[in-house]
Structure 1
Amino acid sequence: MTAPAPEVLLAGLHKAADDVASDVAKLTDEDVTAPSALPGWTRGHVLAHLAGISNAMARQLEYAARGESIELYDGGMDGRNRAIDRAAGHNAATHLADVTAALHRVMHAFDALPGIKDSSANRTGWYAPITYRGGVVLDGGLALWRELVIHNSDLLTGRGPETWSRQFCGHLFDFLAARVQPDDKLVLQPLGFPPLSIGSGTRSTVVSGMITDIAAWLAGREPTLGSLRASAAADGVDLPALLPWPAGTPAPQ
């Protein structure tokens, strides 16, 4: 499994944005004050973060289109956290307006990118440099995809990890290979799909189960289908400990 091509990613971003907008529209004032799947965060905190990361990524693309760069969040991570705390207590209508406006802004920025084949050679479009992770627009698109899909599951509105697509799970396997301990090698055996290995250590553990359960575990989320199993030398073992979210970007915490 490999990271999706830009045209596939764009389709995935549109679906993720549409799913978030649809689910947020169903929330009531009481709903947004209820706990999310994230310890210490209400749904309102998650919604404030979704609006914040969407606007932040939009401005990465807007500046990149002018050949300029800007930090991801005004005031860095402290600014990000303050903005979330300020907006978390908004009512459902305000959250809906903020999230849908931010999604519209960021999806407009991605839709406005020039042709994929034309941009790879001259560092424009999908390959224009951005500040996020010292990468390019494509990296920002993958990050936004992760944020929208994972945090939508954190809202506990019925769109949990069991709904994640094969392509999205495959991307997480690639991206989250950085969480494997240096001494470990994980042999992932998603049911119905070819096995693959992540990590380069000598301590081998087989992790089997539904593809969405494996992806959820790697992402620090609760597997929802109860299929996850770990084994070493044919014996059942505990799931191995993972490293923190890859350096250079905050985890969808």
Structure 2
Amino acid sequence: MTAITPDTVLAELHKAADVVASLAAKLTQEDVPAPSLLAGWTRGHVLAHITGISNAMARQLEFAARGETVELYDGGYDGRTNAIEAAAGHGIDEHRRDLAAALERALQAFDSLEPGGWQVPISYRGGVVLDGGLALWRELVIHASDLGTGRGPETWSRQFCEHLFDFLSARVPEGQKFVLQPLGLPPVAIGTGGRSTVISGMVTDIAAWLAGREPSLGSLRASAAADGVDLPELLPWPSGVPASK
């Protein structure tokens, strides 16, 4: 897997933000209360969450620029949840305005970074600004698919999928190892246990499964000791907040 540089992250953030804004521009007022692909969430919830995480990550960078750290969400996880619930039912025009402002704020914060700024500590997962950029990239790409507008995981890039393989290796249960075998690509082993399961399929289907999303192309197969088996259970999403969304 190729190393992901700050320049790569910056370019991908701009691409992902453009996709989200483009999808939001096509939604109608009737789409807002319609179900998303996330259980229990409407499209309005997803839009509110994308707005919230964009503002939250911008805030991480704004504090980091002053040599300070701040919790990811104002009010912690409860603050996050309350803000999403409060904004989910907003009209589509308000969602678009809030989303555009949040994306612009986040992109401006990343665009203004000096080279050394990517390694400045932030509170998110006890990491640095680069970790925050990777997190926002994940949030924008995955939740764009969660809107359920026809742009599913099959549109995710190989580089993004391989990043998810690395980040989501924390979902491999103890004692197990997954050998991910994307079709036409080199295998990737995640987990350090002695029990191996081979997961084969399109790179996007493997990444979607690891991310807890429905694979789009139906290519996934699991095998152990050359026999077909059920796909293994995964540990919870490795997040700084206790939620899988």
Q: Judge same fold: TM > 0.5, yes or no.
A: yes
Q: Deviations over 1:181-230 (max 9, x none)?
A: 11111010001110010001111110000000000000000000000000
1:90 & 1:60 partners in 2: Cα distance?
26
Contact 1:53–1:144 (Cα < 8 Å) also in 2: yes
Count residues in correspondence.
Answer: 245
Q: Deviations over 1:56-91 (max 9, x none)?
A: 000100110111111111110001100000000001
1:214 & 1:106 partners in 2: Cα distance?
29
Q: Which of 161, 171, 189 matches 2:181? A: 189
1:177 & 1:199 partners in 2: Cα distance?
6
2:150 is paired with a residue of what secondary structure?
A: coil
1:70 & 1:238 partners in 2: Cα distance?
42
Listed as ranges, the gaps of 5+ residues in structure 2 are none
User: How do residues 128-167 of structure 1 correspond to structure 2 at under 5 angstroms?
Assistant: 128-167=120-159
1:3 & 1:134 partners in 2: Cα distance?
21
Identity of aligned residues (%): 74
Q: Deviations over 1:37-57 (max 9, x none)?
A: 011100000000000000000
TM-score by length of 1: 0.95
Contact 2:70–2:123 (Cα < 8 Å) also in 1: yes
2:101 is paired with a residue of what secondary structure?
A: helix
Indicate the residue corresponding to 2:9 in structure 1. Answer: 9
Aligned-pair distance for 1:250? 4.8
Contact 1:3–1:171 (Cα < 8 Å) also in 2: no
Q: Which of 191, 194, 203 matches 2:195? A: 203
Aligned alpha-carbon RMSD (Å) = 1.0
Indicate the residue corresponding to 1:216 in structure 2. Answer: 208
2:219 is paired with a residue of what secondary structure?
A: coil
2:231 is paired with a residue of what secondary structure?
A: coil
Listed as ranges, the gaps of 5+ residues in structure 1 are 120-124
Contact 1:2–1:174 (Cα < 8 Å) also in 2: no
2:234 is paired with a residue of what secondary structure?
A: coil
Q: State the 4+ residue runs in structure 1 displaced beyond 3 angstroms.
A: 249-252
Contact 1:150–1:252 (Cα < 8 Å) also in 2: no
1:251 & 1:167 partners in 2: Cα distance?
25
Whether 1:94 and 2:94 are equivalent positions in the alignment is yes
TM-score by length of 2: 0.98
1:233 & 1:130 partners in 2: Cα distance?
44
2:32 is paired with a residue of what secondary structure?
A: helix
Q: Deviations over 1:137-192 (max 9, x none)?
A: 00000110110000010001111100000110010000000000111110100011
Aligned-pair distance for 1:248? 2.8
